[in-house]
Amino acid sequence: MSNIAPFTCNVSDETLADLQRRLDATRWTDQLDGAGWDYGTERGFLQELCRYWREDFDWRKSEARFNAHPQFMTEINGENVHFYHARSPEPDAVPLIITHGYPGSVAEFLDIIGPLSDPASHGGDPKDAFHVVAPSIPGYGFSGPTRNKGFNIAAGGAVNVKLMEMLGYDRYFAQGGDWGSAISTNVATRVPDRVIGLHLNLIVGFPADPADPFAGLTEREKEEQAWKEEYNKHESAYQAIQGTKPQSLAYGLNDSPAGLAGWIVEKFKTWSDCGDDVTRSFTKDQLLENVMLYWITGTINSAMRMYYESMGPGRMSVSFEKCTVPTGYAHFPREIRPTPRVWADQIYTNIVRWTEMPAGGHFAAFEQPVSFVEELRTFARDFR
- The pLDDT profile of the chain, 384 residues, written as one tens digit per residue, is 569 999 999 999 999 999 999 999 999 999 999 999 999 999 999 999 999 999 999 999 999 999 999 999 999 999 999 999 999 999 999 999 999 999 999 999 999 999 999 999 999 999 999 999 999 999 999 999 999 999 999 999 999 999 999 999 999 999 999 999 999 999 999 999 999 999 999 999 999 898 999 999 999 999 999 999 999 999 999 999 999 999 999 999 999 999 999 999 999 999 999 999 999 999 999 999 999 999 999 999 999 999 999 988 877 766 678 999 999 999 999 999 999 999 999 999 999 999 999 999 999 999 999 999 999 999 999 998
Q: Are 79 and 143 spatial neighbours (Cβ–Cβ below 8 Å)?
A: yes
pLDDT score at 7: 98
pLDDT score at 319: 64
Q: Are 131 and 86 spatial neighbours (Cβ–Cβ below 8 Å)?
A: yes
> Choosing from 84, 238, 307, 348, which is the catalytic residue?
307
Q: In this structure, is residue 255 part of a structural domain?
A: yes
pLDDT score at 365: 98
pLDDT score at 360: 98
Please give the tally of structural domains in the chain: 1
Give the domain extent around 148: 5-27+38-381
CA atoms within 13 A on the CB side of 229: 6
| CA pair distance 201, 180, nearest whole angstrom | 9
Q: Are 323 and 188 spatial neighbours (Cβ–Cβ below 8 Å)?
A: yes
Calculate the alpha carbon distances from 321 to 124, 184, 194, 348 in Å: 36, 13, 17, 9
Calculate the alpha carbon distances from 85 to 185, 327, 346, 381 in Å: 21, 23, 34, 21
pLDDT score at 208: 87
The letter for the amino acid at 225 is Q
Closest CA relative to residue 143, chosen from 7, 2, 11, 239: 7
pLDDT score at 9: 98
Q: In this structure, is residue 15 part of a structural domain?
A: yes
| CA pair distance 20, 79, nearest whole angstrom | 31
| Annotated catalytic residue 277 | no
| Burial tier of 284 (Cβ tally within 10 Å: 0-12, 13-18, 19+) | middle
| CA pair distance 299, 136, nearest whole angstrom | 11
Q: Are 207 and 215 spatial neighbours (Cβ–Cβ below 8 Å)?
A: yes
Task: Read off the pTM.
Answer: 0.97
| Annotated catalytic residue 362 | yes
Q: In this structure, is residue 33 part of a structural domain?
A: no
| Annotated catalytic residue 178 | yes
Tell me, what CATH number does 216's domain have? 3.40.50.1820
| CA pair distance 84, 136, nearest whole angstrom | 8
Q: In this structure, is residue 249 part of a structural domain?
A: yes
> Choosing from 85, 131, 331, 362, which is the catalytic residue?
362
Q: In this structure, is residue 32 part of a structural domain?
A: no
